[in-house]
Structure 1
Amino acid sequence: MKKMFFKYRFFAFLNLTLQFVCFFSFGQQINIIPKPVAVEQRVGAFKINSKTQILSGTKSALASAGFLKTYVKSLTGLNLKATQTAAVAKNGIQLLIDPVKVKHAEGYELEVSAAAVKITAADGSGLFYGLQSLIQIIKQSKTGQFSVPACKIIDYPAFSYRGMHLDVSRNLFSTATIKKWLDMLAFYKINTFHWHLTDDQGWRIEIKKYPELQRTAAWRNETLIGHKRTEPHLFDGQRYGGYYSQEDVKDIVAYAMARKITVIPEIEMPGHALAALTAYPGLGCTGGPYQVATYWGVFDDVFCAGNDKTFAFISDVLDEVITLFPAKYIHIGGDECPKTRWKVCPKCQKRIKDENLKDEHELQSYFISRVEKYVESKGKKIIGWDEILEGGISPGATVMSWRGEEGGIAAAKLKHQVIMTPEKYVYLDYYQSHDRSEQIAAGGFTPLSKIYQYNPLPAGLKADEQQYILGVQANVWSEYLPDAEKAEYMIFPRIIALAEVAWSKNETKNYPDFLNRLNHHKRFLQQFNYAESNKDITGSIDIQHLQYELKTDLPGATIRYTLDGTYPGLKSAVYTKPLAIMGLLNLKALSFINGAPNGRVFEQHFSKSLATGKTVSIKNLPAGNFAANKQVLVNGIAGTYLYNTGEWLGFSGNDLEAVIDLGITQQVAEIGIGLLNYHWQKMWAPDRLTFEVSEDGENYQQVYKQTEFKVEGINRIKQKINPVNARYVKIIAINKGIIPKGEYGAGGNAWLMADEIIVN
């Protein structure tokens, strides 16, 4: 089918200057994102011509009429007449607000016939969103005629809160860039922009009463090069910083508001305050001196909770912030606040005593509650990360559940409003592909499919408790996003998947259907450096049957593969069913569509041994994001240095004691295991590693012991031993336990990370 190509200014009403090429195909398919509640496709199409009129039924609809008029002119060159009238005219696009007919907030009905287009909405937001859907389905014929396929669409959001968070403390983005992103958020019906403005690495908002925040807190001496996990740390030696003036903030807020987006500011407290303390050291427990952080992490120096000057400073800051942001919410952080300084600070200890608090956790609750009361006195409400649950939650606080779903579930059961933003599912600074060419990321693995399949309503909540889930948000932390291009690669198209999660009913979601619609939306993504990692082949292992499965999301694709490490071609084997692991060595695979390669080459190396596929028993359970099936220790696949493939078992503060049953007694001459040692990720090699063997599973003899390991990275232990008969192999790795003083995360549990066990 032939496609027409043409250039137009994307969302001219948004004052974008970038032009790019896009296309519309001739078909009548309704490819709207997010997926509407109901779509009825009809026969025919409405043609847009010079006599088409835009009719706004009410004065409140005039702004939307102006928006549509400007857009159509940019797209077609036609200068349509816009009139305020309740009359229905042929060849007209009618815009109505009727909350009686459309009862759901932000909802709309879009009806298209050959004679007219009619959008009826519950409110101004609904009308705006109806127009976004209309814009998405405008098409161009071979002769240059613009039209809209006949249809009826009924639509309204599943959740009232649909958000994206952006961290500008670690790395700044220009106001022009933020506006560009806001345009796309609005296009996909995301209605909240959570602006993370302060942190340890920089204070990014002008506060006129405290000029040192601009002169000192907004600047750091240099910035970490590469990933935090790598030692030794390297720095660029370049002073970095800046901030948004109050005029910048007003501009962004107004720009967002015109696009039905609420901007919620975040001013971090009581932790992540190092930048502010550098400017005003008297607000810390030690009095300083402090330095704006030059690398990423959690730092012991936080706001002093026993100092009344701290609360005076926060109140003054919030006074100026509140005047800039009309949103009803102020985000006050509350996450990752170490209690190290509070435990030895005389002022904090006095506060605990004076307020009859049990401990430092209740001191944090006191801190949050005190700030909340001040915010509420200004007619606002607070949002905090789920740590604000610790020590008792403030009465009117809304919780952002980021460490998992548990915090959100607990808050909802306490009848607090909740926004779900679990890092495992919706953090956009996580890797979206396991391909080696992926740009550096924080960690984790969140492909497009994982975000799309997320359900913000946790299974652990009863029906009457689900009402407290306001919605869902994707978070963009910028530690490894030094420029807009790298940020866009991480944001798009994953934020579009999040938009459908937030707007569309969970039971109507369909990932292949979404990918099909997303393919039609690439014309809207041309102005971004967007990722296409959904083209990647993915691999998964069936541990029970020792089979390896390949999968591609590309419709109509054929996977071809090789087992000898050579590049797959058209003569390579076609993948039709899972492959037996015992027959694999160096697997490479590539997708082909119509005989042409598509996407990147998938690679997986397998290491087989006497232990592969054998039964493993472990004494302590793995924890957190590293609580994988214990059989991954003998599945033939080694974990990578990114530790995000599900191949590493992680033990928080606990030892590893694993026993492999080889099935029969046989000669053993070599034993090995992989261990991960990244102190800056709180991952430590064991204090002691021992290998033991046994014929009966009761009486073991030690055959190897090691107490020293590489400073950083993966330690592949593969030790030759004097040949011995054994059926059982026991590996004991003694956890470091508590992270030593002076090290990152001191006082907390060390992670012991283990992967593939080898026995030969």
Structure 2
Amino acid sequence: MSPTRTTLCLALASLATFAHGASARIDVIPMPAQVTESGEGFAVGAQTPIVVDAGDAQARHSAEVLASLMARTRHLDLKVQQAPATGAAIVLKRDAAAPVADVEGYALDVTTKGMVVTARDEAGLFYGAMTAWQLMTPAQGEGDVRVPAVHIRDEPRFRWRGFMLDSARHFWTTDEVRTVIDQMAQHKLNVLHWHLTDDQGWRIEIKKYPELTRIGAWRTPPGAGQNGEPQRYGGFYTQDEIRAIVAYAADRHITVVPEIDMPGHAQAAVASYPELGVTGKRPPVSVDWGVNPYLYNVDDHTIRFLEDVLDEVMALFPSTYIHVGGDEAVKDQWQASAAVQARMRELKLKDENAMQSWFIEQMGQYLAAHGRRLVGWDEVLEGGVPPSATVMSWRGTQGAISAAKLGHDVVLSPAPQLYLDHLQSDREDETTGRMPPMTLESYYGFEAVPKELDASQAKHVLGMQANLWTEHMPTMRHVEHAMFPRMDALAEAAWSPVAVRDWHGFLGRLPAQLARYRAQDIGYADSAFAANIEVDRNAAIARGEANVTLSNQAGYGALHYTTDGTTPAAASPVYAKPFMVTLPATVKAVALAADGAPLAEARQRALDLPSLRTRGTAEMVNCPGSDFGLRVQPTPDATSMKPSYVINVFDNCRMYPAAKLDGIAGIRVDAARLPRNYALAHDAKLVVAHKGGTPQGELVVRMDSCKGKTLATLPLPAGGTDRFTLKGALATQAGVHDLCLVFTSPVTGPLYGIGSATLVPAGTAP
């Protein structure tokens, strides 16, 4: 960050508290650095033109994007015309004297005469246009709109405001990638980190090496051709398609940073050209998520291959930065290879970590010779970081701290804090992803500058980035659910000065943004606002009535509810304190914004004895010994978002907590057979094996602990459908006990997931 920019940021931050405190709320995300309000505002209608200077193609492009957004989200057709304006207008103008110092900064002024956006550069003008669009879409509605009289001076806190899209694990069409780019632009994010190669697929056409896409872009799923899985899965981007996407992003002031992973995550490349690997044998393109063992070898031929690849990559991507991965390179193959060990001795390297550092340095030098800079995950610090490297810290924040102290530029992208593949909630109706959940509030509260850095070291923090790994995101609807609205929280943390960030203010501005998503058919998650309907199950079973508590994750919105089966609305009772209902009953609840618009879909809960005796997949907990959690679907390449199952790949066992067993004579378990497609590398030794009595195994129900008294043994089906129901008698017990439900199937076979488990009373058919 330049001294001029630093001074202006501090000045804007110091003004922000007074300016925002004196203003009414404007529904803009990310929040501008400085906002004041005065005057009567400006009415925008179909006759309001968007005016740009003659011959300014960049301004005209921003104006056309603004007009397109208004037509799509407000159904208001605004015409773009050349200056001068003959009346009230929206003016977009580049001006070297604009009252901002940064190329991404802008000024926006609204008076009764119109709206004027000025900026010194085209990027700032574009971002000003995005703010203008948000000002003109304050809530649901169509047609004319009144914009408040505001005066905005704005620029970003960080120059790297990133989002990583993984196209290797699941392949996204070019239109889907453009959808992501459009949303990034609206959120003022400016770096698309595009993950294009991995063990599960090579997605970029390299003309010198056609096998990379003929072979490496396709995999044969587990259970191919069965249960909805395709015979093969994959795809790749031609060079023409990549050029078009890079140009589309550039038009929206987004730099696309490609990632070509090395020396690990190389199985798709080795499947294409076995001589690139260590063993010389051709593996399949991997169907296993996780950490696979295949590394590039370290001979001159492989180095030249990767340089050739980088030549074509650099020709496609004008980005200064090229990402080379460097993560999760398990060194077993290098350790076992006589050729690699000889190469290490030749280079006088002390160990395999130093070998990786040498390998990455070759790439760094090659990129530097072509005027580019290497970016790598924080493993590049191991064995000595190449002097030219920029470090992307994903294993927490320590990598960024260490690298910044060594004088390297860093981007904060830690797991799990900024990993969008983590679930947004632990709700029963959540979709797929890793656990624990990373909430909207946790994203909003992330601070990208570690407190361990002093002022000089903090200058090396380029910014922050959220990552969306797509192992468990097989459709764009999964991607959108994971991204939004957490992208709003990321955008504000990356753009807005610390002084103006306010969680409650952010929540107040979010309903308008959710309406913009709906207008654009973006499948955002409503997890933060969805109503939680909680009862004490066992007390309700004993008394025949339930004490109901309502809440939602964000603690925002008025919760309205019904108990008669009707859908709640603004006229329904407002929740103020817990209330009683007599069983059986159905409680429905919804959170409404101040204008009465729903913040989430209404949720409902049946309160009857069968439901109270049932635990869903998310209501059960891990068996003791491992806190790993993952929510998955029955097939890796599912085309729908349901059903899904919470599993622990290290221990195929779940706990049904606090089961009231008085009068219970049986159990019914809805379950699914799932592929065990997880490469665990050195962690494979942590997988717990439970010995079974049959070749396919059983579901064993034990009381109090996983070593407790056996209450039931339910044989697993040997074949047939992968979704099934197990039923059986449960040994008679009394009182409240935890139940351990453990699958004794071999660890070389499939995993099993529990969709729900229901206790069945005596005299009732299971």
Task: Tell me, yes or no, if the aligned pair for 1:92 and 1:117 is still in contact at 8 Å.
Answer: yes
Which residue is 1:582 aligned to? none
**CA shift at 1:468, angstroms?**
1.2
Change over 3 Å in CA distance of 1:140–1:315 after alignment to 2: closer
Change over 3 Å in CA distance of 1:258–1:149 after alignment to 2: same
Which aligned pairs between 1:564-579 and structure 2 lie closer than 5 A? Answer: 576=577
Which aligned pairs between 1:315-326 and structure 2 lie closer than 5 A? Answer: 315-326=307-318
Task: Tell me, yes or no, if the aligned pair for 1:264 and 1:329 is still in contact at 8 Å.
Answer: yes
Which residue is 1:17 aligned to? none
**CA shift at 1:710, angstroms?**
8.3
Which residue is 2:191 aligned to? 192
**CA shift at 1:483, angstroms?**
1.9
**CA shift at 1:386, angstroms?**
0.9
Which residue is 2:530 aligned to? 536
Which residue is 1:160 aligned to? 159
1:583-602 deviation per Cα after TM superposition (whole angstroms, max 9, x unaligned): xxxx9995565899964358
Which residue is 1:463 aligned to? 455
Work out which structure has the larger RCO, using CA pairs closer than 8 Å and 6 or more positions apart in sequence: 2
1:122 and 2:114 matched: no
Change over 3 Å in CA distance of 1:157–1:538 after alignment to 2: farther
**CA shift at 1:491, angstroms?**
1.8
Change over 3 Å in CA distance of 1:220–1:88 after alignment to 2: same
1:269 and 2:262 matched: yes
Alpha-carbon distance in 2 for matches of 1:263, 1:387: 22
SS of residue matched to 1:214: helix
**CA shift at 1:451, angstroms?**
1.3
Task: Tell me, yes or no, if the aligned pair for 1:281 and 1:287 is still in contact at 8 Å.
Answer: yes
Which residue is 2:721 aligned to? none
Task: Tell me, yes or no, if the aligned pair for 1:403 and 1:422 is still in contact at 8 Å.
Answer: yes
Q: TM-score, normalised by structure 2?
A: 0.70
Task: Tell me, yes or no, if the aligned pair for 2:67 and 2:78 is still in contact at 8 Å.
Answer: no
Which aligned pairs between 1:641-656 and structure 2 lie closer than 5 A? Answer: 642=646
**CA shift at 1:32, angstroms?**
0.7
Which aligned pairs between 1:258-657 and structure 2 lie closer than 5 A? Answer: 258-305=251-298, 307-526=299-518, 527-537=521-531, 551-553=552-554, 555-558=556-559, 576=577, 590=589, 599-600=602-603, 642=646
Alpha-carbon distance in 2 for matches of 1:163, 1:389: 21
Change over 3 Å in CA distance of 1:400–1:144 after alignment to 2: closer
Alpha-carbon distance in 2 for matches of 1:159, 1:131: 19
Change over 3 Å in CA distance of 1:434–1:623 after alignment to 2: closer
**CA shift at 1:603, angstroms?**
11
SS of residue matched to 1:464: helix
Alignment equivalent of 1:719, drawn from 708, 711, 725: 708
Q: TM-score, normalised by structure 1?
A: 0.71
SS of residue matched to 2:367: helix
Alpha-carbon distance in 1 for matches of 2:700, 2:105: 52
Alpha-carbon distance in 2 for matches of 1:712, 1:126: 61
Alignment equivalent of 2:135, drawn from 127, 134, 137: 137
Alpha-carbon distance in 2 for matches of 1:549, 1:446: 21
Change over 3 Å in CA distance of 1:92–1:268 after alignment to 2: closer
SS of residue matched to 1:412: helix
Change over 3 Å in CA distance of 1:712–1:398 after alignment to 2: farther
Alignment equivalent of 1:39, drawn from 12, 35, 41: 35
Task: Tell me, yes or no, if the aligned pair for 1:204 and 1:243 is still in contact at 8 Å.
Answer: yes
Change over 3 Å in CA distance of 1:489–1:342 after alignment to 2: same
Which residue is 1:56 aligned to? 53
**CA shift at 1:146, angstroms?**
4.4
SS of residue matched to 1:276: helix
Task: Tell me, yes or no, if the aligned pair for 1:535 and 1:599 is still in contact at 8 Å.
Answer: no
Which residue is 1:669 aligned to? none
Change over 3 Å in CA distance of 1:318–1:80 after alignment to 2: closer
Alpha-carbon distance in 2 for matches of 1:296, 1:44: 57
Alpha-carbon distance in 2 for matches of 1:575, 1:76: 40
Residue type of the alignment partner of 2:558: A
User: What is the Cα-based RMSD across aligned positions, in Å?
Assistant: 5.4
Task: Tell me, yes or no, if the aligned pair for 2:40 and 2:111 is still in contact at 8 Å.
Answer: yes
Change over 3 Å in CA distance of 1:479–1:685 after alignment to 2: closer
Residue type of the alignment partner of 1:165: M
Residues matched between the structures, number:
636
Alpha-carbon distance in 1 for matches of 2:455, 2:612: 46
**CA shift at 1:462, angstroms?**
2.3
**CA shift at 1:290, angstroms?**
1.2
Task: Tell me, yes or no, if the aligned pair for 1:61 and 1:97 is still in contact at 8 Å.
Answer: no
Which aligned pairs between 1:693-704 and structure 2 lie closer than 5 A? Answer: none
**CA shift at 1:522, angstroms?**
2.4
Change over 3 Å in CA distance of 1:537–1:78 after alignment to 2: closer
Alpha-carbon distance in 2 for matches of 1:113, 1:357: 67
SS of residue matched to 1:521: helix
Task: Tell me, yes or no, if the aligned pair for 2:158 and 2:462 is still in contact at 8 Å.
Answer: yes
1:574-627 deviation per Cα after TM superposition (whole angstroms, max 9, x unaligned): 66599xxxxxxxx999556589996435899999xxxxxxxxxxxx9999999x
Change over 3 Å in CA distance of 1:500–1:571 after alignment to 2: closer
**CA shift at 1:322, angstroms?**
0.3
1:236-281 deviation per Cα after TM superposition (whole angstroms, max 9, x unaligned): 3611122100000000000000000000000010000000001110
Percent identity for Structure 1 against Structure 2: 35
Which residue is 1:249 aligned to? 242
Which aligned pairs between 1:171-186 and structure 2 lie closer than 5 A? Answer: 171-186=170-185
1:40-95 deviation per Cα after TM superposition (whole angstroms, max 9, x unaligned): 12221223464746143984753346526744884533434213x7x997646251
Task: Tell me, yes or no, if the aligned pair for 1:55 and 1:65 is still in contact at 8 Å.
Answer: no
Change over 3 Å in CA distance of 1:712–1:213 after alignment to 2: farther
